[in-house]
Structure 1
Amino acid sequence: MILSTIFLGVIGPLQITLIVVVVLLIFGGKKIPELMRGLGSGIKEFKDASKEEDEPKKDKAE
């Protein structure tokens, strides 16, 4: 519990700004939307796959 308080206190607005600037420098402004789109589609596929696994379990219980 103490460790989570320490880690939460370390990240502030200055650190977040620094991270954003570094990401912009590394990937560039044009590449970031493509990365976010890919991340979003990956999350969507993961959710769809997890729903497909849950459906047969519900059918067996009935």
Structure 2
Amino acid sequence: MSETMTNDQSAQNQPPLSRCLENLQKALADVVCHPDLSGDAKSFLIDFCKVISEKASESVKGEKA
């Protein structure tokens, strides 16, 4: 079970944070562009994406340091 892994073990199998964040942003963009999404939800997700982008750039800078 993956839940029994320690943080060190699971981190070794993870792609770089920058790639994970890129994948997340692409997935969120697909959701935001979906025609079935309501206006309120779209506004929330757009704001959420902005926060993620800001935090992601801070985290990736820390990753490279």
Task: State the TM-score, normalized to the length of structure 2.
Answer: 0.41
Greater helix percent: which structure?
Answer: 1
Larger radius of gyration: 1
Q: Which has the higher contact order (CA 8 A, sep 6+)?
A: 2
